Amino acid sequence: VPWWVFNWKSAIAKAFLSGGFVRHSIASESFLDKTIGLLYIFSQTMLGPALTLLTIGIVVTFLAQLQRQKFQIEIGHLTAIAACLMSSLPLLLMALIKDNHNPRLYNPSLLPLAIAIGILAVLSYWTKRRLLAAIATALIVFQVAVIVTPTPGEPQYKVGDLASKQLLWGNPTSVLRRLEQWEWSLLREVAQQKGIHNPLIAYLGNDSNLNPPQIAFPWVKNNEPARVTWLWNSVTGDIDWEKVMSTVKLSDLVITVPELEGDAADRSDLDNQYNAELVERLQQDPQFAPPVSLKLGYYHPVEVLVFVRQSGQPSETAQDILLLDIY
């Protein structure tokens, strides 16, 4: 039984919240620019350039042959095409009125759309004429080859990295690119060395590896408690240093990455703009020891600074207050 059957209220609330997730929105002021941007994402990310060309070719061929009356559409085919389009297009059109344009939300529309395009391909003889079949095969093979073939001599896809930064969701060149994984068990070792159990962990910055679930994973893996709070992010507005530092003073461990820039595509660069300033503030705070440097990452290691609280443990009241801000 799907989880949302018994939690339908939470599921609906999550759906509406996700629809307004501005980090994954196309920055455009006009409806036309937004539409063009969505079409570009659809062609690059959801279909891929080669399959986009194939789809356009099938549709154009179908319309041309239909106009020349080379065949007649049977009612069964017409019903199937209409049903598939009615299942697919409403979800795609939702992107025009919502702020979250992450293709993962609209990918379910590809299945009925693919069935409709397949029917058009059969009706317009793409599966029977050798030349058309050869063109379709070449386009499909080309896109698969781009997906599975890395850039020679590179641990990551250079083109894929660039595409991901520009498109946020990438294209066929970024499907199998290698992603960094930070070994957060090193942070747990620091906490154990300092005799800190059930730590209150605060962090500033944003990255695919810098988030509460990944930071807390070593403790979760060992069935141990750990609480993680995000000190600030750009979506909440201008940074309030008084609030940030009041939370910092309640924490056992404070993490940030001064050299982390983040991608402008998902606005994570805005979340990292104050990392260096937090380091300066903590270095002047007598409650925290000099930072412990951790090198995290396999392909492109980064220096993660860990500030350890050295002036006693937060009170129970402070722990309760901090729990309110945990993500």
8 A C-beta contact, residue 63 and residue 120: no
pLDDT tens string 162-189: 555 555 667 777 777 777 889 999 999 9
**Residue 263 in tokens:** 């991608």
- How do the domains of the chain map onto residue ranges? 3-154, 185-323
d(CA 128, CA 123): 10
Q: What percentage of the chain reaches a pLDDT higher than 70?
A: 86
Angle between helices 49-67 and 130-148 (to 10 degrees): 160
Q: Which residue has the higher pLDDT, 320 or 163?
A: 163
d(CA 26, CA 48): 19
Mean pLDDT for the stretch of residues 249-261: 93
In CATH, the number for domain 185-323 is 3.40.190
Contacts of 214 (CB under 8 A, 6+ apart): 182, 184
Residue 40: per-residue pLDDT: 87
Mean pLDDT for the stretch of residues 57-75: 87
Residue 269: per-residue pLDDT: 86
**Residue 291 in tokens:** 């930072």
Mean pLDDT for the stretch of residues 117-146: 94
Contacts of 224 (CB under 8 A, 6+ apart): 197, 198
Residue 161 pLDDT > 80: no
pLDDT band at 6 (very low <50, low <70, confident <90, very high): confident
